DNA sequence: TATCTTTGCTTAACAGTGTTAGATTATTTA
DNA sequence: TAAATAATCTAACACTGTTAAGCAAAGATA
């Protein structure tokens, strides 16, 4: 009767192998290269048996996403445990979040819907850089002459852009923020950064 | 000889039809539903003729991306023209950016690599909400009792998250920020928000 | 006008995708 | 050993992006 357990253990192993193969493929070739047949190749099975372990491809992504959040939670626990001051703890938690994003880039991508857009970022033409330049120049204009230098403008530019783009993409990928909250965050952040520049 | 021009005009029209059909499909069914054959159906041709106008599917996305940046630039010009104070102008520009993102949601998605992740956001399980809750609770802990209420914590939480996630995804989709700049933005923003809370 | 060439467009195909049904093999049970 | 069950594979379907070959109409040339 112990053989039942052995078999269950083997099944569990295969399930893990599927997940491990998936993340390996993604790390080597990117998300768009992940296919059921490629996963099957790695675990030395044919594609249909994957469906004995996961309902479909999305279910695999879902499980990887879940594991990503678990990993992130653990890193945050660790960050907390390394400090006593709550403010320091919070700072360490966000830095852990940052580090996680790049240490587990592929997981972060699927967790938060970040596409590595082969095409869009190319120096396709001037059009793409125009909005960025308009903002950059306006920021430069506002900064008092004595503080004004390229690095400072860059910092402010990316701070603005990060908070606005971040809030937009959070809104687009989940649907839990209220309009009122969005406006609050937006106005506060923009106003705050403008104040900090003068 | 004027017929040459007429024909060129017709070709240009077809090119525009391809782009218009593409964005229509995306608006109706999302980016993952966009296919060459579907585009061809809409413009009443077969798929291969699209390749007379665009090298491949990516080239269509690229052109839509470009047009997105042109639209965004115009909206920003308008924002500038409606104010005289530079700080007001800058604020209006970011608000124009925000409005554009939701008015032209599909364009924004392809311009900035935002995936509408059918799966990830579901209330799949507690694991997903854990990191968020940890951060939320820590923020609540830091805020002085007299200011502490749910709305305020929410605002600060989303401000933190937006700037960190925004900077991460900007880094992941383009490759132009330096490590030094990232750290500068990150530390400044986190430190700034923490200060603003107390 | 009759032939030749170019253009516009389609059909057919290739290699790949996720997914399912049916057949086949191997293992366990009686 | 025979029957029943489980594990696995083959084959297929309906898609995907993309390319090559072919056809039919239009234009140019003689």
Residue that wins the pLDDT comparison between A41 and A6: A41
Q: Across chain B, how many H-helices and E-strands are there?
A: 8, 0
Asked if pLDDT for residue B121 goes beyond 70, the answer is no
**What are phi and psi for residue B114, nearest 5 degrees?**
-100, 115
Q: What is the Cα–Cα distance from A32 to A47, expressed in whole angstroms?
A: 17
- Cα B101 to Cα A117, A124, B110, B165, distances in angstroms: 17, 21, 11, 17
Least confident of A86-100, A106-120, B88-102: A106-120
User: Where does the pLDDT of residue A98 fall: very low under 50, low under 70, confident under 90, or very high at 90 and above?
Assistant: very high
Residue that wins the pLDDT comparison between B116 and A53: A53
pLDDT at site A175: 78
Report percent pLDDT > 70 for chain B: 92
Average pLDDT over residues A74-95: 97
What residues in A contact B141, CB-CB < 8 Å?
A: 86
Rg of chain A over Cα atoms, rounded to whole angstroms, equals: 23
CA distance A165 to chain B (A): 5
pLDDT at site B56: 97
HSE-CB at A43 with a 13 A cutoff on CA atoms is 26
Report the first-to-last Cα separation within chain A, whole angstroms.
76
Q: Which nucleotide has its C1' atom closest to residue A58's CA?
A: C18
Evaluate whether B125 touches B100 at the Cβ level (below 8 Å). no
Question: Which candidate from B119, B141, B165 shows the least CB-CB separation from A62?
Answer: B119
User: Where does the pLDDT of residue A10 fall: very low under 50, low under 70, confident under 90, or very high at 90 and above?
Assistant: confident
Average pLDDT over residues B114-133: 77
Report the first-to-last Cα separation within chain B, whole angstroms.
75
The reply to whether residue B97 touches residue A134, judged by beta carbons under 8 angstroms, is no
Please enumerate in sequence order all residues whose Cβ is within 8 A of that of A73, keeping only pairs 6 or more positions apart, or say none: B127, B130, B131, B134
Evaluate whether A108 touches A101 at the Cβ level (below 8 Å). yes
Average pLDDT over residues B185-189: 93
Asked if pLDDT for residue B160 goes beyond 80, the answer is yes
Whether A46 and chain B come into contact, CB under 8 Å, resolves to no
Stated in angstroms, how far is B54 CA from C11 C1'?
21
User: Where does the pLDDT of residue B51 fall: very low under 50, low under 70, confident under 90, or very high at 90 and above?
Assistant: very high
Is the four-CA dihedral A57, A63, A65, A67 of positive or negative sign? negative
What single DSSP character describes residue B114?
A: B
Stated in angstroms, how far is B37 CA from C13 C1'?
16
Question: Which candidate from A62, A124, A161 shows the least CB-CB separation from B62?
Answer: A124
Asked if pLDDT for residue B74 goes beyond 70, the answer is yes
Q: What is the Cα–Cα distance from B197 to B155, expressed in whole angstroms?
A: 10
Find, among A154, A157, A127, the residue nearest to B72 by Cα. Answer: A127
The reply to whether residue A154 touches residue B188, judged by beta carbons under 8 angstroms, is no
Q: What is the Cα–Cα distance from B190 to A41, expressed in whole angstroms?
A: 45
Asked if pLDDT for residue B161 goes beyond 90, the answer is yes
Question: Which candidate from B72, B94, B138 shows the least CB-CB separation from A160?
Answer: B94
Question: Which candidate from A65, A77, A101 shows the least CB-CB separation from B120?
Answer: A65
Asked if the Cβ of residue A51 lies within 7 A of any atom of strand C, the reply is yes
Asked if pLDDT for residue A117 goes beyond 70, the answer is no
What residues in A contact B108, CB-CB < 8 Å?
A: 168, 172
pLDDT at site B118: 53
Residue A12 tokens read as 């569990």
Asked if pLDDT for residue B65 goes beyond 50, the answer is yes
Find, among B62, B151, B144, the residue nearest to A178 by Cα. Answer: B151
Least confident of A163-172, B12-21, B169-178: B169-178
CA distance A1 to chain B (A): 33
Question: C-alpha angle A19/A20/A25, rounded to 5°?
Answer: 100
Instruction: Count the neighbouring beta carbons within 10 Å of the beta carbon of residue A10.
Output: 10
Whether B114 and chain A come into contact, CB under 8 Å, resolves to yes
- DSSP symbols for B45-91: S-GGGGGGT-SSHHHHHHHHHHHHHHHHHHHHHHHHHT--SHHHHHH
CA distance A31 to chain B (A): 12
Evaluate whether B113 touches A116 at the Cβ level (below 8 Å). yes
Asked if pLDDT for residue A45 goes beyond 90, the answer is yes
pLDDT at site B92: 97
Report percent pLDDT > 90 for chain A: 81
The reply to whether residue A185 touches residue B151, judged by beta carbons under 8 angstroms, is no
pLDDT digits (tens, 9 = 90+) for A118-169: 555 555 788 989 999 999 999 999 999 999 999 999 999 999 999 999 999 9
User: Where does the pLDDT of residue A1 fall: very low under 50, low under 70, confident under 90, or very high at 90 and above?
Assistant: very low
Average pLDDT over residues B108-124: 77
Asked if pLDDT for residue B176 goes beyond 60, the answer is yes
Stated in angstroms, how far is A2 CA from D7 C1'?
19
Asked if pLDDT for residue B1 goes beyond 90, the answer is no
What value does the mean pLDDT of chain A take?
Answer: 92
pLDDT at site A8: 73
Q: How many residue pairs from chains A and B have C-beta atoms closer than 8 A?
A: 269
CA distance B78 to chain A (A): 12
Q: What is the Cα–Cα distance from B94 to A186, expressed in whole angstroms?
A: 9
Residue B134 tokens read as 């940890």
pLDDT at site A76: 97
């Amino acid at each position: 009767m112990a053989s039942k357990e052995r078999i269950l253990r083997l099944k569990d192993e295969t399930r893990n192998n599927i997940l491990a193969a998936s993340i390996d493929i993604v790390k080597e070739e990117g998300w768009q290269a992940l296919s059921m047949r490629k996963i099957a190749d790695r675990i030395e099975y044919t594609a249909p048996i994957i469906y004995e372990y996961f309902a479909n491809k999305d279910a695999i992504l879902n499980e990887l996403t879940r594991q990503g959040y678990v990993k992130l939670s653990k890193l945050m626990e660790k960050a907390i445990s390394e400090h006593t001051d709550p403010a320091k703890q919070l700072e360490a938690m966000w830095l852990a979040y940052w580090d996680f994003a790049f240490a587990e880039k592929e997981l972060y991508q699927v967790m938060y819907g970040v596409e590595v857009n082969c095409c869009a970022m190319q120096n396709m033409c001037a059009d793409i850089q125009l909005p960025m330049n308009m903002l950059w120049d306006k920021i430069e204009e506002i900064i008092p002459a004595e503080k004004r230098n390229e690095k400072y403008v860059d910092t402010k530019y990316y701070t603005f852009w990060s908070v606005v783009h971040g809030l937009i993409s959070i809104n687009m990928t989940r649907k839990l923020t209220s309009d009122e909250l969005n406006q609050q965050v937006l106005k506060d952040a923009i106003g705050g950064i403008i104040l900090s520049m003068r």
